[in-house]
Structure 1
Amino acid sequence: MNKLKHIALLTLIVLTFNGCSVYNFTGTGKIDAKTFQVNYFQNASELIEPGIELKFTRALQDLIQNQTNLSLTNSGGDLVYEGEITDYRISPMTATADQRASQNRLTIRINVRFTNKKKEADDFEKPFTFFFDYSGDQQLVGSQLTTALDEIFERITQDIFNESLAKW
């Protein structure tokens, strides 16, 4: 009887640790890939804000490095992220009585092509969009622009991560 308890306990421990190998804390599941690359995202929008393409490319690289154990490479990555910024738009959202915008919205859309060289069924091409609302009496420059880009890129990069690796 004692031997049966030991076998049951050992089986439970083995199954527990075996089950843990499938998932990790980021929710990425089991990934066969070892490396990833993020190609430079060109700014192809009609309205150009200088430097946002590099800021976005780095934000995506940083997020993947921080949430996985994949190694960043410049070429030949198992996972490849590429695409372009297709829309950078500022739109009035609400107006005052004297026909001025009381609130504006910055919207950024990024088209992403994801290639998984280890599992082609995971490949996709898809646009990701997010926005930032700000007061109509403020200019979108300096720290206000930095805050807007940080918030938008944080959401878009997390959405890309979830679509490509977390499968949420």
Structure 2
Amino acid sequence: MRVFLSIILAFSLGTCGVYSPYGAATSGASTFSVKYFDTVHPLVSASTSITISEEIIDRVQKQSTLQLVDSGGELKFEGKVIGWTVQPINVKGDETAGANRITVTVDVIFTNTIEENLSFQRKFNRFYDLPSSSDIHANTDLVVEEIASLLSQDIFNASLGNW
């Protein structure tokens, strides 16, 4: 009986395929690489694209079993920051904004060298609402970190989460 259960268990685990214990669909890949994002929008600082790139690296490392390589990974991420907008929102009765919505847009190229049909080029954007009493320039690091975290989750879901 134990032998039978062992065979059933081994077969069940063997059919799990290429999904990691974290839920990432890696297509059997063991490595990934991230080319640091370019900055093509005049209002975006170089540190913004670096922060976004590093968030993607951190996210993939935390949520998959993939190993980071400098270049030539089986799964490749690259892109550019193409948008940074600030819009007043929550206009009050005295016609002043209650907050400023900062939106960052990135154009991402994901290349899956194992299953090329899963590769894509896609735009992602996320926003952060900063109270109008807060100085945007003094809070840029906070805003970028929050937006980069959200963007990295969206990019992970689209590339490895099969969302």
Kindly indicate which of the two structures has a greater share of residues assigned to helix: 1
What amino acid does structure 1 have at the position aligned with 2:30? K
Task: Tell me the percent identity.
Answer: 29
2:70 maps to: 74
1:29 maps to: 25
What amino acid does structure 2 have at the position aligned with 1:86? I
Deviation at 1:16, TM superposition (A): 3.1
Q: Secondary structure of 1:133's match?
A: strand
Write out per-residue CA displacement over residues 51-105 of structure 1, whole angstroms, 9 at most, x where no aligned residue: 1111111111121122222222222221111110011111101223333211110
What amino acid does structure 1 have at the position aligned with 2:61? Q
Deviation at 1:147, TM superposition (A): 2.6
Structure 2 CA distance for partners of 1:30 and 1:11, relative to 1, 3 Å: farther
Residues 1:120 and 2:126 are matched in the alignment: no
Answer with 121-130 or 6-15: which moved more.
Answer: 6-15
1:108–1:130 CA contact under 8 A, matched in 2: yes
2:44–2:81 CA contact under 8 A, matched in 1: no
Q: What RMSD over aligned residues (CA atoms) do the two structures have, in Å?
A: 1.9
Deviation at 1:107, TM superposition (A): 0.4
Which whole-Å CA distance do the structure 2 matches of 1:56 and 1:34 have between them? 22
In structure 2, stretches of 5+ residues that fail to align are none
* 1:31-46 mapped onto 2 (5 Å cutoff): 31-46=27-42
In structure 1, stretches of 5+ residues that fail to align are none
* 1:35-114 mapped onto 2 (5 Å cutoff): 35-114=31-110
1:158 maps to: 153
Number of residues paired by the alignment? 163
Q: Secondary structure of 1:166's match?
A: coil
1:26–1:68 CA contact under 8 A, matched in 2: yes
Which whole-Å CA distance do the structure 2 matches of 1:32 and 1:7 have between them? 29
What amino acid does structure 1 have at the position aligned with 2:104? I
What amino acid does structure 2 have at the position aligned with 1:151? E
Q: Secondary structure of 1:84's match?
A: strand
Identify which of 4, 18, 36 aligns with 1:8: 4
Which whole-Å CA distance do the structure 2 matches of 1:53 and 1:134 have between them? 20
Which whole-Å CA distance do the structure 1 matches of 2:73 and 2:94 have between them? 55
TM-score for both structures, normalised by structure 2: 0.88
Which whole-Å CA distance do the structure 2 matches of 1:20 and 1:33 have between them? 15
Deviation at 1:167, TM superposition (A): 0.7
Q: If you compute each CA radius of gyration, which structure gives the higher value, 1 or 2?
A: 1
Which whole-Å CA distance do the structure 1 matches of 2:41 and 2:119 have between them? 24
